[in-house]
Homo-oligomer: A and B are copies of this chain.
Amino acid sequence: MSLSQRDLTFVLYECLQSEQLLSREHFAEHDKSMFDDVLKMAAELAKKEFAPHYRKSDLEEPHVVNGEFQIIPETKQALDKLREAGFFAAAASFADGGMQLPNVIWNACQALFLAANCGTTAYAFLTIGAGNLISSFGTTAQKDMYWKKMLAGEWFGTMCLSEPHAGSSLTDILSKATPRADGQYNIKGSKMWISAGDHNLAENIVHLVLAKLPNAPAGVKGISLFIVPKYRLENGALVANDVNLAGLNHKMGYRGTTNALLALGEQDNCIAELVGEPHQGLAYMFQMMNEARIGVGLGGAALACAGYEYSLSYALERRQGRALSNKDPLTNQIRIIEHTDVKRMLMAQKALSEGALALCLYASRLVDDHQTHEDATSRHEANVLLELLTPIVKAWSTHYGLEANYHAIQILGGYGYTREYPVEQIYRDNRLNPIHEGTNGIQGIDLLGRKIPMQNGLGFQLLSSRIRASTKNARENNLFALAESLDHALDAAQETTMTLMSAQASPELRLANSWHYLEMLGHIVVAWQWLIQASVAQTALQQKLSASEQEFYNGKMQTCKYFFKYELPKVAVWSNLLTSFDTTTLEMQENWF
């Protein structure tokens, strides 16, 4: 399971011009060949250490025997190699012992690992996300104690938000933190759906836990963030911190990553450290959640790419049937890629998977601009646009990434439905992504209810002007028809957005179809990414190229056309639905079901 490295470098350098980052002080010590080396190392590691146990980690799901975790040794070995190669600290600064890589380069590496084996990869990425949170909001002592170990890949990390009765509704968490005389806190509560919540892959697990202090304000305003290690350091020794595995969830897919119900402080012996200020926990956690939402979108895109690549290689070899115009049974069977309907399913996958990947990397590039752009306005704008795009990155990439995987199975037919081929596992694994880190429905509400009105619509304005710049550029590249289509679609989205924002409607009515709003804007954003790619390809095709390069760019041009012809017209359907303020769903009574 892999994704195309040529596609990665195309997006990174030709579309996102990531080598421009080298001119910034923060990345001044790098050069492009160093980026290339890192990508190459990631690709090799993904291929050698992650991909080979993809199926095995599904068949031999982690489980507990007599209190001991049984996890296939390949998982730890892959993570050890990742650690040895320094990837746990890829984005950390030189000062902290990291590689100080741009986010966009690091996320390209992540995509390679996720495509190869998302279940094993998750342990590392959760650790990195949790570490970043401590690095942003923790004290120097906390960084020295926890983050350093996490950067080294010696201790792993998690995020502990949900509880059994409070999955999406964090307002309602019940975990309690009680101050102790020593300045620390006693934690008591249950945490549910904790990915990598327990295992024996690392010396320690650093849980970042949301809990409430005594007399905290009700709701999300009373949530604080705590560091709760599985083992705490006492007199130089690690001792159990009363964080106990209360059960493992048995998932449909993504089985390589444990998912745990944790009991904290059952013996009143779970000691925690507060991170930052009291009651600011959710705001802090959102840093990790936003990072994780990009990561989940990237997972959706990477698995879509993996399914595409696999079904493509299958379609190039498998012989079955003959051309529609050939009725002679004595001729040889043709390779199924020669059947137009199979080609259609490959194009659909290419359009959805590479479109999603480009979008995820675009967002990753915005992270870099937010953090390192020389210009303050540009930094601010990058952040606003990133906030707007985050729910689309998360939800569009996972929803349509899964649709791509549907086609991959369909191309393999009966074989695709068996556990002897990887595409069914890819499909099962990817089915998690529309659920975790905020369901896709919640992303729709976040987009339309919060991100669109934010700062008087600045995010949407920034997005629109960037898209218009791209359509202008496309016209200059003679891509008139494509530019015209995207401009029209954006016109419709602008009208739709205005209508939704200006109307005197209840939040319930305004947001009734927020999921379809996300689909509408998502399709426009991905069409935009394809137009950028087509413009680059068009320019490249003017030059003298090797045959394989010419084929690559032709494929980009053709797939852009596919997306514009098959997918973009759906925008009109969603726009009509949204502007009609349809009340069908709202009026439906629960006893009418």
Contacts and interface: CB of A to CB of B under 8 A. Distances in A.
Interface stretch (A82-90, A113-121, A245-253): A245-253
Given A249-B420, A342-B441, 9 more contacts: A193-B414, A250-B418, A324-B507, A341-B514, A410-B440, A416-B435, A555-B588, A555-B592, A562-B588
B417 A432 contact: yes
Interface stretch (A133-141, A196-204, A329-337): A329-337
A232 B344 CA distance: 47
B511 A340 contact: yes
B419 A167 contact: no
Nearest to A332: B172
Nearest to A327: B219
A408 B202 CA distance: 36
A566 B589 CA distance: 18
Nearest to A316: B590
Interface string A343-359: 11111001000000000
A324 B432 contact: no
A565 interface: yes
A432 B329 CA distance: 29
Contact of A410 (B220, B418, B434, B506): B434
A502 interface: no
Number of copies: 2
Interface stretch (A17-25, A73-81, A578-586): A578-586
Contacts of A330: 218-219
9 contacts: A252-B424, A252-B427, A312-B593, A341-B444, A346-B593, A414-B435, A428-B428, A565-B577, A565-B584
Interface in A416-446: 416-420, 424, 427-428, 431-432, 434-436, 439-441, 444-445
Nearest to A325: B507
Contacts of A168: 320-321, 413
A410 to B, nearest CB: 6
Contacts of A417: 251-253, 431-432, 435
Nearest to A193: B414
Interface string A552-593: 101100110110011001101100110010101111111111
A210 interface: no
A345 to B, nearest CB: 7
A321 to B, nearest CB: 4
A565 B218 CA distance: 40
Contacts of A514: 341
A545 interface: no
B350 A593 contact: yes
Contacts of A406: 402
Interface of A: 162, 165-169, 171-172, 192-193, 218-220, 249-253, 312, 316, 319-325, 327-330, 333, 337-338, 340-347, 350, 402, 406, 409-410, 413-414, 416-420, 424, 427-428, 431-432, 434-436, 439-441, 444-445, 449, 506-508, 511-515, 548, 551-552, 554-555, 558-559, 561-562, 565-566, 569-570, 572-573, 576-577, 580, 582, 584-593
Nearest to A336: B168
A320 B554 contact: no
A64 B229 CA distance: 46
A342 B439 CA distance: 11
Given A329-B219, A414-B193, A432-B417, A169 B584 contact: no
A588 B435 contact: no
A427 B424 CA distance: 12
Interface centre among A171, A219, A441 (most CB of B within 10 A): A441
Nearest to A566: B577
Contacts of A584: 347, 558, 561-562, 565-566
A590 B554 CA distance: 11
Nearest to A252: B424
Given A312-B593, A346-B593, A417-B435, A171 B569 contact: no
A512 B414 contact: no
